[in-house]
Amino acid sequence: MDFNFSPSIVVLVLIEVLIVIGFSRLVGLGCRWIKQPLVIGEIIAGIMLGPSLLGLVAPGVAAALFPAEAVPFLEVLSQIGLIFFMFLIGLELNPKYLSGQLEVAILISHVSILVPFSLGTLLALLLYPLVSNASVSFTAFSLFLGAAMSITAFPVLARIITESNLQKTRLGTLALTCAAVDDVTAWCVLAVAIAVAHTNTITGAFPTIIESLIYIAFMVTVGRWFLKRLATYYEHRGRLSQLALAWIYMGVVASALITELIGIHLIFGAFLLGAVMPKNEGLVRELAQKTEDFVLIFLLPVFFAYSGLRTQIGLLNTPGLWLLCLAVVGVAIIGKYVGTYIAARVSGIENREASALGWLMNTRGLTELIVLNIGLSLGVISPLLFTMLVIMALVTTFMTSPLLEWTYPKHLIKLDLVEPKTEVGVEKVTYRILVPVANPSTQRGLLQLAVAIAGNRLQPAVVHPLSLIELEEYAFDSTPDEANRLIQERRRKLEQLIQTLEPAESRSYVQPIVRITNKIARTTADIAALDEADLIMVGWHRPDLSKNRLGGRVGQILSTAPVDVAVFVERGGERLETLLVPYAANIHDDLALELALRLLVNRDNCRLAILRVVPVGQVHSDLSYEFSSVMKQLPLGVRDRINIQNIEAVEPIQAVIEASAAVDLTIAGTSRAWGIERQTLGRYTDQLAIQCQSSLLITRRYSKVTSHLSSMLERQSTAG
């Protein structure tokens, strides 16, 4: 390989890397938006930068941007990325995954390998004379094609399980165990296929296979013994020094070189070192976190771009070739799904779980792309077959999430909700508030206000502090064990926050929910609907990098949540002795008034001012009929603490801002009257939200004919 280290080449490679990272992240985020793994977008981005799209629509630009002399540099970067990525996969392959339901998992995983492998070798009979390289033997070709059909992408599967909150379910733990067994077996099959590819015969591969077994035995015994000393060192120091990290990275590279010299591939040595690394929780976490960011953000996108340069969809230029591609995709899906499903059913797993397990095991992801690049580099598969198999990897990964959702819908997954639902036909009388808490250490005021509004004088109440954890793609934090640790840690912080709430008796109806998600606003709305919440209360602060006042996630919740929403803007201080409700007789102001009256009923020392402001010369509108009725039903002691003020002002918003200086909390509905829009996404000024001198609660009514407060007062008066 000829390397020309001229300054122009270095600059060009840096420009390529800059474009690759930026474009892959952009396309990846687009895929995340449609609930697909980030890796799908990054693979697509790499293909788009290659001859399949950029080279097709702008060949001059493609030739200038990715000239032949720059490709070897991308290859080197991609191979380094693969070495350390495979080390991370081995590092995260925890023996815990091989403990539960092991006998069932071994049966399912081996059948899920055997069936697609067998179908792949049969398919090789058709493909070998049509799309293979002339120099490769049928044995090597069929072995490699069978191995490619058998792969399950453990990192992608673990991520999907975590994001679907399946990690504590029977399905999730079984899928992880099956995938872990599958991973080990499939890599062994691939190693044999590579050994055969080097010699073109099974017998010629025996020395390589024997040397590989000797090295594996050495790493499992001597290597593990030596690495245990590293774990002891970590336990004494409590952290990894740069020197220790340097030795580990040297070990990764050395192990990779050894397996390359043996005759399998660089990635096996790196994977093996990660697999035998002691699974000390702190050591693994710190090592993964120190390694993964640079590998996943910088090096892996280069690998995707390098793969994209080798993917030529234009080679599929006849209907016959597209039919062959369809056959490849079909055999891969049928082999993996049917093999898994049948084995699961034989093992006594019920139909829905067996089907969901089949779709999970069918995902290929980045792991498949690694296998395919090895095959192309060795000349075992041709560029045409490489392109077909890349399409297969994309299709099987893309289909996993939607088919899993279809087979095993989220409402069938046990959510972390502690309050039982009411039965169908029974009126729900519990008042529920869902409170998204982004940071338990800074949002006590938000939760304290929710508890004060909920109360329990009128009816039973439940307040759910909701903590949603977003995970990075392929990061160590996204592994099920680490996700469970994060959930427990976040729950502990919420419990500590709950213990600070006053009065102490209110803590009994505050019940936390912690979940994993990649769509904060959407998941919040889903949980609110599932829990039949009456109100979502969310905290807000002005974004630092945007003029958008109530945009981002808060704006999305305001716009999409199918329940009432209140946005809390805290100005400091937790006193709730004086309340102000500017009232303009619309449904959002009605909700503001309802919440204020709840506070009034629940707190004996609280007073409420209802400020009815109209422009000069206009007639004051009456309170809605509903709230006129509510006022009449309030106990006399509560009505005495309400003061209704009618004023005229040239600028109603300014009048409210001035009045807010004398109160602890202003509660205002979303309307132009107060400079706030129901679906505020930066278009309007949100003047009151910015200038209000007290804490502010902004209310958005979903669409209800009568208030909960009105219904409750009517029930109480009837019972009385």
Tell me: pLDDT of 448 over 60: yes
10 Å CB burial of residue 156 (0-12, 13-18, 19+) is buried
Tens of pLDDT along 515-552?
888 778 888 888 888 888 899 999 876 544 344 445 56
Give me the architecture of the 7-199+282-411 domain, per CATH: Up-down Bundle (1.20)
SS3 content of the chain, % helix, strand, coil (to 5): 65, 10, 30
What's the whole-number mean pLDDT along residues 54-78?
A: 90
What residues are paired with 436 via a beta bridge?
Answer: 466
Evaluate whether 325 touches 394 at the Cβ level (below 8 Å): no
What's the whole-number mean pLDDT along residues 69-88?
A: 90
Q: What is the side-by-side strand order in the sheet with 665-669?
A: 513-517, 461-470, 431-436, 535-539, 564-569, 695-700, 665-669, 578-582, 607-614, 642-648
pLDDT at 426: 37
Which range is least confidently modeled, 135-144, 184-193, 535-544? 535-544
Higher pLDDT: 75 or 616? It is: 75
What's the whole-number mean pLDDT along residues 46-66?
A: 90
Residue type, position 62, single letter = A
pLDDT at 546: 43
Please tell me the distance from the alpha carbon of residue 160 to that of residue 172, in angstroms, as a whole number. 10
Tell me: pLDDT of 705 over 50: no
The model's confidence at residue 708, banded by pLDDT at 50, 70 and 90, is low
Cα distance from N-terminal residue to C-terminal residue, the chain = 91
CA 495 to chain centre: 24
pLDDT at 420: 42
Tell me: pLDDT of 681 over 70: no
Q: Could you give the angle at the alpha carbon of 331 between the alpha carbons of 330 and 336, nearest 5°?
A: 105
pLDDT at 250: 95
pLDDT at 264: 86
Question: What one-character DSSP code corresponds to residue 93?
Answer: -
Tell me: domain 431-719, CATH 3.40.50.300, correct? no
The model's confidence at residue 586, banded by pLDDT at 50, 70 and 90, is confident
* Residues recorded for the chain: 720
Higher pLDDT: 693 or 163? It is: 693
Tell me: pLDDT of 334 over 70: yes
The model's confidence at residue 506, banded by pLDDT at 50, 70 and 90, is confident
Q: Where are the domains of the chain?
A: 7-199+282-411, 431-719
In 3D space, the residue among 74, 684, 50 whose CA is nearest the CA of residue 313 turns out to be 50
Which range is least confidently modeled, 247-251, 520-524, 715-719? 715-719
What does the radius of gyration of the chain's CA atoms come to, in whole angstroms? 31
Contacts of 629 by beta carbon, 8 Å cutoff, 6+ apart: 710
Token couple for 369: 């792309």
Torsion of CA 316, 321, 323, 327, to 10 degrees: -100
Tell me: pLDDT of 277 over 80: yes
Question: What one-character DSSP code corresponds to residue 152?
Answer: -
The percentage of residues in the chain with a pLDDT greater than 70, rounded to a whole number, is 84
Residue 507 neighbours by CB distance under 10 Å: 16
SS (H, E, C) 603-672: CCCCEEEEEEEECCCCCCCCCCHHHHHHHHHCCHHHHCCEEEEEEECCCHHHHHHHHHHHCCEEEEECCH
What residues are paired with 463 via a beta bridge?
Answer: 433, 510
pLDDT at 333: 95
Tens of pLDDT along 197-211?
888 788 888 888 899
Angle at which helix 319-346 crosses helix 102-131, to 10 degrees, equals 160
Segment holding 468, helix H or strand E: strand 461-470
Which range is least confidently modeled, 84-93, 137-146, 187-196, 518-527? 518-527
The model's confidence at residue 248, banded by pLDDT at 50, 70 and 90, is very high
In 3D space, the residue among 81, 3, 88, 82 whose CA is nearest the CA of residue 477 turns out to be 88
Is the bond preceding residue 652 a cis peptide, omega within 30 degrees? no
Evaluate whether 449 touches 465 at the Cβ level (below 8 Å): no
- Which residue carries 């991609």 as its tokens? 78
Kindly report the average pLDDT of the chain as a whole number.
82
Tell me: pLDDT of 715 over 80: no
* pTM for this model (two decimals): 0.74
In 3D space, the residue among 569, 567, 631, 550 whose CA is nearest the CA of residue 594 turns out to be 631
What's the whole-number mean pLDDT along residues 168-192?
A: 82
Tell me: pLDDT of 617 over 70: no
What's the whole-number mean pLDDT along residues 139-146?
A: 90
Going from the C-alpha of 173 to that of each of 15, 169, 193, 406, the distances in angstroms are 43, 6, 30, 20
In 3D space, the residue among 688, 689, 693, 618 whose CA is nearest the CA of residue 653 turns out to be 688
Higher pLDDT: 161 or 394? It is: 394
pLDDT at 6: 58
Tens of pLDDT along 410-427?
666 544 433 444 433 334
Tell me: pLDDT of 622 over 80: no
pLDDT at 181: 81
